[in-house]
A and B are shown apart, each in its own frame.
Chain A
Amino acid sequence: SQQGEEDPQALSIQEGENATMNCSYKTSINNLQWYRQNSGRGLVHLILIRSNEREKHSGRLRVTLDTSKKSSSLLITASRAADTASYFCATEEQGNNDMRFGAGTRLTVKP
């Protein structure tokens, strides 16, 4: 079954604004990953945060993980039109290492 659930399902912002996407999950995890998918292309791995980490940065990306709430957020600061894409979170479950993806958030950044 689906594990990660992103919200919102769709987000539209102006260039320069920050975009925040959230992901919730249900089981215990080893790590949580965020991916980007541009239309018609494969997923691009953005960032991985392990279950014992609380926050991670990569360029304009900031990911937080709250294992007590089973949730994560992805913040993109100073967004650009090129950030327009679908963003997926994925969790690796403890025990079986299965990967579970959510349905994604469609981000549109208007120039």
Chain B
Amino acid sequence: NAGVMQNPRHLVRRRGQEARLRCSPMKGHSHVYWYRQLPEEGLKFMVYLQKENIIDESGMPKERFSAEFPKEGPSILRIQQVVRGDSAAYFCASSSDSYEQYFGPGTRLTVT
């Protein structure tokens, strides 16, 4: 049973470009969480999604960031018009219910 998959593992974008981060949950999991980790800091919750629904986006910046988890396919975290401050590691996690979460390896975004 494959774990949570994230791709790409590393992403480099110039300021102003768009970044798309993908997360494929574990088989049978319908809950996806996205987290951001800045250097030397703990993970910070961004958004919680179930299939086709955003349940909680209280941690998402109001502008430029969006997330989706369509009925088919991976969850996508999209960052428009990236800025240097967006450089971070972005982790997604999945669960089959609201309890134990399993994390992916993360995507390291570097904005140049």
Contact = CB atoms under 8 A, between A and B. Distances in A.
Interface of A: 2, 4, 30-31, 33, 35, 41-45, 48, 88, 90, 92, 96-104
Contacts of B101: 33, 45, 90, 99
A101 B35 contact: yes
Nearest to A5: B42
Given A42-B105, A88-B42, A97 B91 contact: no
Given A42-B91, A45-B103, A102 B98 contact: no
B98 A92 contact: yes
B104 A100 contact: no
A103 B41 CA distance: 5
A44 B104 CA distance: 9
Does more than half of chain A's interface fall in helix, strand or loop, or is it mixed? Answer: strand
Interface string B51-69: 0000110110000000000
A30 to B, nearest CB: 7
B91 A43 contact: yes
Contact of B42 (A48, A97, A102): A102
A97 B56 CA distance: 9
Contacts of A43: 43, 91, 93, 103
